[in-house]
C-alpha cells in the first residue's frame, strides 16, 4: 500500500515540478505513482489540502463507486479545494467521472428507485450515466480503440484507433467537452476537458506506452497550453 503524505512533498520531478496524486481513499494509488516514476517524474500521494493547492500538477485517480468516492472526498474536506484548483488536473477512470456534475451510479440495483443521484465535483458540465452497451457484457473491460481524437495538448501523439484499457459500466455521453471518444455498443466520452480539468475514462497507468504518453504529456503541460483556444472539442 502506498503511503499517504500529510505534511510535505516527497521530492520534486526532474524539472523541479511538484506533482500530487490525491488520496481519495478508493484508488490503486501505488500503480499510478509507479507509472509516473517510470517516466522519470516524482509524485506525492496526499489528502493534505495545502499540498494539493501547492502542487504544479494534480492527478485524481479512482476505482469503485462514485457514491463511495464522493463520501470520502467530503469526509476529507476536499470538495472546495478540488473545485477551485487552477493548475492542470487529470482524472483517471472514476476520477474523471467525479469531475462531472453528477452520477447515477448511486442508484444501485439494491436501492432501486430509492437510490440517489450522486452529486460530484461539477468542474466539467456533463453527467455520468449507465453505459449503453447495446447488449454487450458489462462492465466494459479490456482494450478498446478511440473513435475520434481532438487537438488537445494532453492528446499529443494520440490517434484514432489507438488502444487503451477500460474498466467501467458508467460513462459520460458525447458533449462539447468530449476531446476523445470510444465505442462499446454506443459512443461515449473517452476523454473530457474544460479549462485546466481533464479526465480519461480509461486507465492511462494500465494502457502501456500510449497511456504513458498521455501521462507524460500531462506532466509536461504548461498552464498556457490549457487556454480556451486549445480546448477544441470533437
Q: Is 203 a catalytic residue?
A: yes
- Cα(221)–Cα(223) distance, rounded to whole angstroms? 7
**Which residue in 93, 120, 182, 200 is the catalytic one?**
93
Q: Is 93 a catalytic residue?
A: yes
Q: Is 205 a catalytic residue?
A: yes
**Which residue in 68, 152, 168, 203 is the catalytic one?**
203
Q: Extract long-range pairs of 50-55: CB within 8 Å, 24+ residues apart.
A: 51/5, 51/7, 51/8, 51/9, 51/20, 52/20, 52/22, 52/78, 52/81, 52/82, 52/85, 53/81, 53/85, 54/9, 54/18, 55/18, 55/19, 55/20, 55/87
**Which residue in 168, 182, 205, 220 is the catalytic one?**
205
The residues carrying an active-site annotation are: 93, 203, 205
Amino acid at each position: 500500500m502506498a503511503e499517504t503524505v500529510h505534511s510535505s512533498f516527497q521530492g520534486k520531478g526532474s524539472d523541479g515540478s511538484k506533482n500530487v496524486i490525491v488520496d481519495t481513499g478508493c484508488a490503486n494509488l501505488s500503480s499510478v505513482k509507479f507509472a509516473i516514476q517510470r517516466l522519470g517524474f516524482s509524485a506525492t500521494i496526499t489528502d493534505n489540502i495545502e499540498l494539493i493547492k501547492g502542487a504544479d500538477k494534480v492527478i485524481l485517480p479512482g476505482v469503485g463507486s462514485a457514491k463511495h468516492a464522493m463520501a470520502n472526498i467530503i469526509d476529507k474536506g476536499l470538495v472546495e479545494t478540488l473545485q477551485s484548483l487552477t493548475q492542470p488536473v487529470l482524472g483517471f477512470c472514476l476520477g474523471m467521472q467525479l469531475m462531472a456534475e453528477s452520477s447515477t451510479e448511486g442508484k444501485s440495483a439494491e436501492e432501486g428507485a430509492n437510490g440517489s443521484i450522486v452529486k460530484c465535483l461539477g468542474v466539467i458540465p456533463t453527467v455520468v450515466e449507465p453505459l449503453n452497451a447495446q447488449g454487450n457484457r458489462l462492465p466494459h473491460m479490456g482494450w478498446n480503440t478511440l473513435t475520434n481524437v481532438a487537438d488537445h495538448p494532453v492528446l499529443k501523439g494520440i490517434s484514432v484507433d489507438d488502444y487503451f484499457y477500460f474498466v467501467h459500466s458508467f460513462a459520460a455521453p458525447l458533449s462539447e467537452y468530449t476531446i476523445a471518444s470510444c465505442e462499446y455498443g454506443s459512443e461515449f466520452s473517452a476523454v473530457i476537458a474544460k479549462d485546466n480539468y481533464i479526465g480519461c475514462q480509461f486507465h492511462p497507468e494500465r494502457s502501456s506506452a500510449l497511456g504513458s504518453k498521455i501521462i507524460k504529456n500531462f506532466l509536461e503541460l504548461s498552464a498556457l497550453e490549457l487556454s480556451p483556444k486549445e480546448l477544441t472539442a470533437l
